[in-house]
Amino acid sequence: MTNFADLGLSETTLEALTNVGYSEPSPIQEQTIPALLEGRDIIGQAQTGSGKTAAFGLPIIEYIDPDGPTAQALVLTPTRELCIQVTQALRAYGEPKGVDVVAVFGGAPIKGQQAQLRDGGHIVVGTVGRVSDLMQRASLILHDCRFVVLDEADEMLDLGFLEDVEKILMQTPNGRQTALFSATMPPPIRKLADRFLYEPEVIRVQAPTLTVDTVEQFQVEVDQKAKPDMLVEVLAEEKPTQAIVFVRTKVRCDQLYKRLRDRGMNVKALHGDMSQGSRDGVMLGFKGGRVPILVATDVAARGLDISTVTHVINYDVPSSPDVYVHRIGRTGRVGRSGRAITFVEPRQKGELEAIEKHIGAGISPWAPGATTEPAAVSEGPRRHDKPEVGRRRRRRSRSRESEPANGSSPDGGEAPATDDTAWAKLVVSAGSADGIEPADLVRVVTAEAGIGGEEVRDVKILERFAFLSVPEDRAKGVVEAVSGADCNGTRLELEPAGR
């Protein structure tokens, strides 16, 4: 078995690897590190989660002269999220050697980044737009930059950055070493590689070894119209710790997010039309585990390393087999198992077959009850009978006591009023997993909102959140007064439950 020392890394870098807890190289690292250390250009076709950041990061660290005053390496990323992620990783890898890594990205004041660049930075990690901008202002000078990485190049293409990428590359030294990473290889990316890479070694980590082994994959045949209900059912059954629900377009992303939110779920949306600030907020919430469900488009969610994602739900069939592999790579990260469930409209069966062919395995039908069986990851997807509607309906009406951990509220359901008072149901952002019991909640609500105990009813504590009802005319005041309050060390957020 190869270890990191066999790959030609120095003692200092090995020390960094011990610090971050990597014991053996991943397949992409095993192939990429020696090639880059030899000075070759490479094309790495690998998805997020494969360990590609260390695959290019470790050789860069080896190469950096910590006494050099100028930028010696540039890593270009399509998004700010990926930029921050890569920067954090490179800082950890370069710490023992004293390598300085500067992150430059849009949506943050340029002045601070200019100052950091003036102070020096051995490696600059930046989004395409901000790097171009800083170069135009002569704040970023790449004369001594002998190592360039294009990370997630296909996403740069999707976002329309390819021309800018070319301009940046043209301003770096001819003798530079270039590494291009891309999950897919559409023709414009091939062309870019032909033009800017010198006899690259192509390193491809086969999709099946990355996904089938660690991700249980299922399909659900469902009509377009029935998808929202099916999604609620799947979430209720699967009880994901964290799930990403992928949709094809920004508009569908927003629509689905609103539908789930209106059902009282703790859910957030992530797509490219959102402001950078909102995207950061959503990402922090999701990464921090406060948001269990993220509805996202491919572009917005790509490159994100979220190791706690237990489920990927393809609400829309991915536009290509490559995208499928890329999406489900969000779960089943190194050493963990995950589940991927793909919704297939009857007319899309052919698309699913293409995916099955690509991954070299059949995708079994999903059925309620699957999660009660012990996991059988190494045996691949399990076979289940197709769910039939009657059975599903019965399950749903029975399942009120066991609401999903992730937060779907009962279907509507105003609190049963025994008098003339109209009651409003509120969702609380914490539950039994936070050590909260009904009495705690009533105590905090009555104290913060200044209402009597009899005005809080139908308290129901679920794993990650809770419900309670208050008189409708007090609801707004209660939400305002209690949101932000502390309950057994957990900050509470309240909002009206969806109708």
CB of 33 to ligand AMP, least distance (A): 10
CB of 239 to ligand AMP, least distance (A): 24
CB neighbourhood size of 50 (10 A): 24
Binding to ligand AMP (CB under 6 A) within 277-316 occurs at 305, 307
Q: Which stretch binds ligand AMP (CB under 6 A): 42-50, 108-116, 273-281, 427-435?
A: 42-50
Where does residue 225 rank: exposed (0-12), middle (13-18), buried (19+ CB within 10 A)? exposed
Among 115, 141, 251, 334, binds ligand AMP (CB under 6 A): 334
Among 52, 91, 239, 311, binds ligand AMP (CB under 6 A): 52
Where does residue 413 rank: exposed (0-12), middle (13-18), buried (19+ CB within 10 A)? middle
DSSP strand pairing (293-297 vs 177-181): unpaired
Helix, strand, or coil here: 362?
Answer: coil
Strand spans (E) along 276-368: 293-297, 311-314, 338-344, 364-365
Q: Which stretch binds ligand AMP (CB under 6 A): 48-56, 135-143, 231-239, 243-251?
A: 48-56
Q: Which stretch binds ligand AMP (CB under 6 A): 49-57, 312-320, 342-350, 491-499?
A: 49-57
CB of 4 to ligand AMP, least distance (A): 8
Residue 302, by phi and psi: left (phi above 0), alpha (psi -120 to 50) or beta?
beta
Where is 125: in which H helix or E strand?
strand 123-127
CB of 51 to ligand AMP, least distance (A): 3
Q: Does 342 bind ligand AMP (CB under 6 A)?
A: no
| String of DSSP letters for 168-211 | HHHTS-TT-EEEEE-SS--HHHHHHHHHH-SSPEEEE--HHHHH
Among 26, 32, 211, 217, binds ligand AMP (CB under 6 A): 26
| Helices 11-20 and 52-63: angle between axes, nearest 10 degrees | 150
Binding to ligand AMP (CB under 6 A) within 416-475 occurs at none
Nearer to ligand AMP, 187 or 288 (CB): 288
| Helices 128-136 and 110-118: angle between axes, nearest 10 degrees | 70
Nearer to ligand AMP, 179 or 444 (CB): 179
Q: Which stretch binds ligand AMP (CB under 6 A): 22-30, 225-233, 239-247, 479-487?
A: 22-30
Nearer to ligand AMP, 51 or 264 (CB): 51
Tokens 């039939």 locate to 388
Among 51, 318, 338, 368, binds ligand AMP (CB under 6 A): 51
DSSP strand pairing (42-45 vs 201-204): parallel
CB of 20 to ligand AMP, least distance (A): 7
Q: Does 49 bind ligand AMP (CB under 6 A)?
A: yes
Among 32, 45, 48, 127, binds ligand AMP (CB under 6 A): 48
Residues that bind ligand AMP (CB under 6 A): 22, 25-26, 29, 48-54, 305, 307, 334
